[in-house]
Structure 1
């Protein structure tokens, strides 16, 4: 290749003549809350089919991901299961704040293994979760850090059920780990997102927590401060009608006006 050709290619890449994703080898890295796995895998597949850009997703508790970003872990997009951990990432300058948007909503539910004899219950003030669990354990995320656990504790405190039930809890590193404890029969009950319960045939929903018993469940998304040039197209796709259809299929509420 001639010296002039090499110069032209280099200049074209720097000027944006070639697509940004091509210049970045066609791969984006997304850090996303564990509860998003099934839905986001499908969204990412649809994005790749449309653009040819591969998305590598890393799923974990939002708290873990936010701290990894703080420590310099390479990612282009962060999707948190609550606003607190997105705020944390913003404060640590890990996030490109103008790209932030509240994308999805969810609900928390009480689940039991499919073969459990526990009947459907109405969850409200005076709800006796400790009595319902009996000698069994109750699984959810770590109430000090994992969003689903924080939502669960807030709801139970408001309903007057936390103090009695607290000793029966088994705290997991993320919501999917809590779901697995119930699905395997290692916990009698669990508090997870409605979307998680829908994704696992080994559990059934026996009650839904009132929306006003806990802070609104909001999933914000944003590009990271170190995002590749092609990231904006992916964030835009998350807001598209195509993505909305997929997210709603899995039970999420779409909180933004969808783009084309």
Structure 2
């Protein structure tokens, strides 16, 4: 029976077998990569994909500490740049794109047409990822700095440790609005809706790479190639991701 297992890598050293492919991926890839892992396993009997999801910077820190990772998939280029010393030469590729949106609880009555509307007194709490360690937070900060609103709005933010935590804050109504990815809204469409799309100062592109000291380099290359293939790209598209 083929399985996909989510693991915390720092506590799982030595748990992988020769056929395991350990993939550390940005939290926003959770749904898409679970489907991709199942499809890869179905096409490669005996292989098992171990998935580890967290904020991209946290994953880089795990890799730097020697976590047994085969493939790293990040939500921005900054995190992948930080991982560069640990990447197999020539393996870094962009595989998907996304959009930043302002999202609100599905039943919200807030009128939000422009980013300036986030200043209204009725909107007391916002969320996004922590800009110091989470790509969606970096995209958010850059977008708001460009129009001179970051300094004014920053006190309203409740920062998540990853984008899915911020999404949960919105879904539970613990904040009035948040800046997350379009694909995250789609994953909780019954609880969260998009109020507006936010232009970003840099395109939201997702890179992946094989880790230089990967325990399973052949499997790592195989899974990375699958993500870039027509089948892998179709899975990403079903979850709302764009072409790289």
Relative to the length of structure 2, the TM-score reads 0.88
Determine the structure 2 residue equivalent to 1:248.
237
Distance apart, 1:143 and its partner CA: 1.3
Point out where structure 1 has 5 or more consecutive residues left out of the alignment: 1-23, 256-260
Query: Does 2:223 align with 1:238?
Result: no
Give the count of matched residue pairs.
Answer: 224
Q: Distance in 2 between matches of 1:135 and 1:251?
A: 28
Contact 1:156 1:162 in 2 (8 A): yes
Question: Which of 146, 156, 170 is the aligned partner of 2:144?
Answer: 156
Contact 2:112 2:118 in 1 (8 A): no
Contact 1:109 1:207 in 2 (8 A): yes
Query: Does 2:22 align with 1:29?
Result: yes
Q: Distance in 1 between matches of 2:139 and 2:109?
A: 26
**Partner SS for 1:121:** coil
Determine the structure 2 residue equivalent to 1:58.
52
Distance 1:202 1:196, change over 3 A: same
Determine the structure 2 residue equivalent to 1:121.
113
Considering only aligned residues, what root-mean-square deviation do their CA atoms show, in Å? 1.3
Distance 1:165 1:45, change over 3 A: same
Determine the structure 2 residue equivalent to 1:214.
201
Determine the structure 2 residue equivalent to 1:199.
187
Distance apart, 1:128 and its partner CA: 3.6
Query: Does 2:131 align with 1:138?
Result: no
Q: Distance in 1 between matches of 2:175 and 2:95?
A: 32
Distance apart, 1:119 and its partner CA: 3.2
Determine the structure 2 residue equivalent to 1:5.
none
Relative to the length of structure 1, the TM-score reads 0.83
Query: Does 2:166 align with 1:178?
Result: yes
Instruction: Give the ranges of 4+ consecutive aligned residues of structure 1 lying more than 3 Å apart after TM superposition.
Output: none
Determine the structure 2 residue equivalent to 1:190.
178
Distance apart, 1:154 and its partner CA: 0.4
Contact 1:101 1:220 in 2 (8 A): yes
Q: Distance in 1 between matches of 2:66 and 2:129?
A: 25
Point out where structure 2 has 5 or more consecutive residues left out of the alignment: 1-16
Question: Which of 51, 55, 65 is the aligned partner of 1:71?
Answer: 65
**Partner SS for 1:68:** helix
Q: Distance in 1 between matches of 2:76 and 2:40?
A: 24
Q: Distance in 2 between matches of 1:143 and 1:236?
A: 31
Contact 1:81 1:220 in 2 (8 A): yes
Determine the structure 1 residue equivalent to 2:83.
89
Q: Distance in 1 between matches of 2:129 and 2:197?
A: 17
Query: Does 2:92 align with 1:100?
Result: yes
Distance apart, 1:191 and its partner CA: 0.4
The answer to which structure has the higher helix fraction is 1
Q: Distance in 2 between matches of 1:241 and 1:28?
A: 20
**Partner SS for 2:212:** coil
